């Protein structure tokens, strides 16, 4: 199926709809959607005008302009058609709408009249002047719009927060992926005792609920109910527990990145395991108001909504960061909220730094992190092997909390900027749609100020389809300039050596080698490459394992 382009589907009533009425109704009626209700002697909302409502000769004679009534009917029909187009859509809750209002007075007036108008207020976000309503008859909403359009802000569908459609898969080379098991923390460069990491920071987990477990210790887990309860018992309801453990677990068999952090569990899924964008927005607002500095949302949808955008703005404006997964559909687009540029969007890699085959890509992707075969917690004290960008996101959320606690004074957004700056380059040199700024490297970020620290790495092997060359990316993750490096490359035809120029801290250099097309075409298994980075004499590398890498270019 072709990718469905993520859309903002609000109905801009103050402009577009009022403009529509101005087009289909006479000029002297163009005083706004509330005109009939406000004008003395006017028809009730949703009803065509009576003869006495027109001025001039027709009013004096009592004649009725049937063409005028027809124009009114046409306008009402077109409004109803617009509502159907925006609300009766796949992937949204049936017979629901999200309504926002321009002023507090308009919002309160709506809440007071909603029931009489045939609209049920399911929930509301007073701070956003937004109501989630249900209706039996869409005509009820049509009539309220006709009578009170001047007060409306926007109208949109309440999309499910799950994956309603699977976009077309991006063409990617087959690969053998390697699981992390219990190796997630060493991969991130976390060594020694990190039990205090995250202290003083609250991470909100907006998910299926977090079950009590030994890995959350005593007094670190609290709950807030936004109408969904605390914890589900369905087959997939261990998801929230798994996610939380990756962020802040403290048990040896389910260890997280920030075991000193506080967890705030806000269940945003219903009994069917799905959520919606209104509920996500409410969860975000609740988490921020409860003091969460880091918010993890391991859910997504291919549609967006103004209410979600408002909630993200609310969080960012109050100093919190939101972390969300890119999606698991091997797609060249991300799910929302990860697709919002204000959100820390996270893709997945395996234990040998390959982009996970399922991980969505996109221009707004910020970073990648472990997301394949990771051991973590589940319901009833179980331990499971977890795959998905849903697991990658909380690892980054935990890293933000860890960076904050170990660098007092850093805000959540500043901590994130450090992590982004000190990430391991992956894939194509520099930032790209598959890896974002790179792969999370917490060890480098934590030790960035150590001038004597040496860590050089073969960051990636990348086949450039445009040039037909294999690119070997070298990165200096040390605390100072490193000179005198050499790179040895071995392929099916032999070995070659290359001089790597001096590299400043964080800098990269690329060695590009043409791929022998004749050898590639006649080799059933493709061309295998091995690279070995050789440091200058006397340099003691803290991560010597990352000085070599292997890959294969498969025949096409």
Query: Do residues 437 and 503 both lie within one domain?
Result: no
Query: Do residues 129 and 48 both lie within one domain?
Result: yes
Residue at a domain's end among 108, 138, 156: 156
Q: How far, in Å, CA of 259 to CA of 27, rounded?
A: 66
Query: Do residues 524 and 404 both lie within one domain?
Result: no
Q: How far, in Å, CA of 322 to CA of 342, rounded?
A: 8
Query: Do residues 355 and 478 both lie within one domain?
Result: no
How high is the pLDDT of residue 36? Answer: 27
- Tell me the chain's radius of gyration from C-alpha atoms: 29
Tell me if residue 198 falls in helix, strand or coil.
Answer: coil
How high is the pLDDT of residue 153? Answer: 93
Query: Do residues 135 and 190 both lie within one domain?
Result: no
How high is the pLDDT of residue 76? Answer: 83
Give a yes or no: residue 89 inside a domain: yes
Give a yes or no: residue 5 inside a domain: no
pLDDT in tens, the chain (556 residues): 333 333 333 333 444 444 444 433 333 333 333 222 222 233 344 444 444 333 333 344 445 456 666 666 777 888 899 999 999 999 999 999 999 999 999 999 999 999 999 999 999 999 999 999 999 999 999 999 988 989 999 999 999 986 333 445 666 776 789 999 999 999 999 999 999 999 999 999 999 999 999 999 999 999 999 999 999 888 889 999 999 999 999 999 999 999 999 999 999 999 888 999 999 999 999 999 999 999 999 999 999 999 999 999 999 999 999 999 999 999 999 999 999 999 999 999 999 999 999 999 999 999 999 999 999 999 999 999 999 999 999 999 999 999 999 999 999 999 999 999 999 999 999 999 999 999 999 999 999 999 999 999 999 999 998 999 999 999 999 999 999 999 999 998 899 999 999 999 999 999 999 998 888 888 778 889 999 999 999 999 999 999 999 998 887 7
Residue at a domain's end among 446, 470, 489: 446
* pTM for the predicted model, two decimal places: 0.87
Residue at a domain's end among 446, 472, 492: 446
Give a yes or no: residue 523 inside a domain: yes
Give a yes or no: residue 8 inside a domain: no
Give a yes or no: residue 139 inside a domain: yes
Query: Do residues 482 and 383 both lie within one domain?
Result: no
Query: Do residues 236 and 361 both lie within one domain?
Result: yes
Contact 479, 452 (CB under 8 A): yes
Buried b (16+ CB within 10 A) or exposed e, 16-44: ebbebbeebbeeebeebbbbbbeeeebbe
Tell me if residue 525 falls in helix, strand or coil.
Answer: coil
How high is the pLDDT of residue 72? Answer: 66
Pairing of strands 469-476, 456-464: antiparallel
164: which residues sit within 8 A by CB, 6+ positions away?
90, 91, 301, 302, 303
Give a yes or no: residue 176 inside a domain: no
Query: Do residues 466 and 394 both lie within one domain?
Result: no
DSSP state for residue 301 in the 8-state scheme = B
Give a yes or no: residue 196 inside a domain: yes
- Domain tally, the chain: 3
Q: Just list the catalytic residues.
A: 207, 239, 390
Query: Do residues 221 and 256 both lie within one domain?
Result: yes
How high is the pLDDT of residue 235? Answer: 80
Instruction: Report the CATH number that the domain containing residue 521 is assigned in CATH.
Output: 2.60.40.10
> Residue ranges of the alpha helices (H) in 254-388?
277-289, 306-317
How high is the pLDDT of residue 119? Answer: 98
Element at 97 (helix H, strand E) = strand 96-101
Q: How far, in Å, CA of 246 to CA of 373, rounded?
A: 12
**Tens of pLDDT, residues 449-503:** 999 999 999 999 999 989 999 999 999 999 999 999 999 999 988 999 999 999 9
Q: Domain span at residue 368?
A: 184-446
Contact 453, 479 (CB under 8 A): yes
Q: How far, in Å, CA of 556 to CA of 551, rounded?
A: 16
428: which residues sit within 8 A by CB, 6+ positions away?
434, 435, 460, 462, 464, 471
Phi, psi of 49 (to 5 degrees): -70, 155
Cα atoms found within 13 Å of the Cα of residue 139, Cβ hemisphere only: 4
Span between the terminal Cα atoms of the chain, in Å? 24
How high is the pLDDT of residue 35? Answer: 26
Instruction: Report the CATH number that the domain containing residue 106 is assigned in CATH.
Output: 3.30.70.80
Q: How far, in Å, CA of 167 to CA of 2, rounded?
A: 6
**Strands of 548-553's sheet in order across:** 494-500, 485-491, 527-534, 548-553
Q: How far, in Å, CA of 516 to CA of 119, rounded?
A: 68
Pairing of strands 469-476, 202-207: unpaired
Instruction: Report the CATH number that the domain containing residue 345 is assigned in CATH.
Output: 3.40.50.200
515 to 465, 470, 500: CA distances (angstroms): 10, 6, 20
Query: Do residues 203 and 277 both lie within one domain?
Result: yes
Q: How far, in Å, CA of 356 to CA of 29, rounded?
A: 59
Query: Do residues 25 and 124 both lie within one domain?
Result: yes
How high is the pLDDT of residue 49? Answer: 46
Query: Do residues 460 and 494 both lie within one domain?
Result: yes
């Amino acid at each position: 199926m072709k990718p469905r382009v993520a859309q903002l589907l609000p109905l801009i009533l103050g402009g577009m709809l009022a403009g529509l009425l101005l087009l289909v109704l006479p000029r002297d009626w163009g005083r706004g959607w509330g005109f009939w209700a406000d004008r003395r002697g006017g028809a009730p909302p949703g009803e065509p005008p009576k003869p006495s409502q027109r001025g001039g000769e027709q009013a004096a004679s009592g004649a009725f302009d049937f063409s005028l009534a027809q124009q009114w009917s046409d306008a009402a029909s077109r409004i109803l058609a617009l509502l159907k187009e925006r609300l009766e859509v796949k992937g949204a809750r049936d017979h629901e709408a999200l309504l926002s209002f321009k002023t507090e007075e308009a919002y309160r007036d709506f809440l007071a009249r909603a029931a009489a108008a045939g609209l049920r207020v399911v929930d509301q976000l007073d701070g956003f002047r937004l109501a989630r309503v249900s209706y039996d008859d869409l005509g009820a909403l049509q009539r309220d719009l006709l009578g009170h359009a001047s007060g409306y802000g926007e109208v949109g569908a309440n999309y499910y927060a799950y994956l309603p459609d699977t976009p077309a898969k991006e063409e990617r080379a087959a690969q053998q992926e390697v699981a992390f098991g219990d190796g997630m923390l060493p991969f991130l460069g976390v060594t020694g005792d990190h039990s205090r990491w995250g202290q003083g920071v609250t991470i909100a987990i907006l998910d299926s609920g977090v079950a009590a477990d030994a890995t959350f210790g005593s007094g670190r887990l609290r709950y807030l109910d936004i109408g969904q309860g605390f914890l589900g018992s369905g087959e997939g309801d261990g998801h929230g527990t798994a996610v939380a453990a990756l962020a802040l677990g403290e048990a040896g068999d389910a260890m997280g990145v920030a075991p000193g952090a506080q967890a705030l569990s806000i269940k945003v899924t219903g009994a069917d395991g799905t959520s919606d964008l209104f509920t996500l927005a409410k969860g975000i607002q609740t988490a921020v108001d409860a003091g969460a500095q880091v918010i993890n949302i391991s859910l997504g949808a291919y549609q967006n909504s103004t209410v979600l955008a408002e909630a993200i703005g609310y969080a960012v404006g109050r100093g919190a960061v939101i972390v969300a997964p890119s999606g698991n559909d091997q797609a060249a687009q991300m799910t929302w909220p990860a697709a919002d540029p204000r959100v820390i969007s996270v893709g997945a890699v395996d234990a040998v730094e390959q982009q996970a085959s399922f991980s969505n890509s996109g221009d707004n992707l910020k970073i990648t992190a472990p997301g394949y075969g990771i051991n973590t917690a589940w319901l009833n004290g179980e331990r499971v092997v977890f795959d998905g960008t849903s697991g990658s996101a909380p690892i980054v959320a935990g890293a933000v909390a860890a960076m904050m606690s170990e660098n007092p004074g850093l805000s959540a957004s500043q901590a994130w900027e450090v992590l982004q700056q000190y990430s391991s380059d992956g894939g194509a040199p520099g930032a790209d749609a598959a890896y974002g700024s790179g792969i999370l490297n917490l060890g480098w970020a934590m030790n960035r100020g150590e001038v004597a620290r040496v860590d050089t790495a073969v960051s990636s092997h990348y086949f450039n389809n445009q040039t037909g060359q294999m690119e070997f990316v070298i990165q200096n993750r040390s605390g100072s300039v490193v000179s005198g490096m050499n790179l040895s490359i071995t392929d099916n035809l032999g070995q070659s050596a290359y001089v790597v120029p001096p590299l400043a801290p964080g800098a990269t250099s690329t060695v590009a080698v043409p791929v022998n097309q004749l050898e590639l075409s006649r080799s059933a298994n493709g061309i295998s490459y091995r690279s070995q980075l050789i440091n200058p004499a006397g340099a003691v590398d803290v991560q010597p394992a990352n000085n070599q890498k292997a890959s294969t270019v498969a025949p096409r």
